[in-house]
Amino acid sequence: MDEIIREPKQKRAIEKKEKIIEAGFNLICKNGYYNTNTAQIAKEANVSTGIIYQYFKDKHDIFLNGLEKYGNDIFFPILKVKNKKIDVKNFNKMMKNMINEYIKNHKLSKTAHEEITAMMHSDKDVAKYFYNKELETTKSIKNLLIENKFIDNNLNEKVHIMIGMIDNLCHEVIYHKHKDMNYDIMTDIVINNIKELFKNDISI
């Protein structure tokens, strides 16, 4: 009845907890939450099944820890970009680089993406995580723009739309591969559209 969740203090114990998170998150990303069981996680982490419940409340808790730890890298790499100057004159090139970076990142963890996006819809905690991160991302980009002298003319909304477009584009490129779709052209159209979005907001 007493929930005795230990917070490990010894080095080895901490490493063990980290290993469990890593193993659990990886397996769940690869095979899905419901197709991953604690025995597999324990095995992958080189740990006994029993120990898991000394560090985590339950299976769900492992996943959440993983999301907290690795989620940013997979879903919000943009949050890492700091103090970057926006080069208005080379906007196209800059955007293309950013999109390619985004796509590269997605590709690295294709199944992770699929599985976790899935959970976002059925798992309140995961949903909350994404909600907050998206907010944070919007704010972060908005600040970046303001630092670069953009005028705050419904910036919130515009940034959100922009992120959505980039997301869709990347998603399309990575997963769908519609045969009659030219992704280079699509990218250009998207970039142009984004430019259009902000065309009156650049102060200089």
Partner DNA sequence: TATGAATGAGTCTTCATTCAT
Partner DNA sequence: AATGAATGAAGACTCATTCAT
**How far from the centroid of its chain's Cα atoms is residue 3's Cα?**
31
36 binds DNA (CB under 7 A): yes
Nearer to DNA, 49 or 192 (CB): 49
Binding track, positions 71-110, relative to a copy of itself; x by CB under 8 A: ----------------------------------------
Site for a copy of itself in 106-165 (CB under 8 A): 113-115, 117-122, 131, 134-135, 138, 154, 156-158, 160-161, 164-165
Question: Which H or E run contains 70?
Answer: helix 59-75
Whole-number Cα distances in Å, 84 to 3, 8, 147: 46, 38, 9
**Helices 110-122 & 124-147, crossing angle to 10 degrees?**
110
Q: Which amino acid is at 75?
A: F
122 binds, among DNA, a copy of itself, none (CB under 5 to 8 A by kind): a copy of itself
Kindly give, in sequence order, each residue whose CB lies less than 8 Å from that of residue 121, ignoring residues fewer than 6 positions away.
Answer: 127
Count CB atoms within 10 A of the CB of residue 46. 10
31 binds DNA (CB under 7 A): no
CA distance 135 to 152: 17
Give the residues lining the site for DNA (CB under 7 A): 6, 8-10, 12-13, 16, 35-39, 47-54, 58-60
Give the residues lining the site for a copy of itself (CB under 8 A): 1-2, 4, 31-32, 34-35, 39-40, 43, 113-115, 117-122, 131, 134-135, 138, 154, 156-158, 160-161, 164-165, 167-169, 172, 176, 178, 180-182, 185-186, 189-190, 193, 196-197
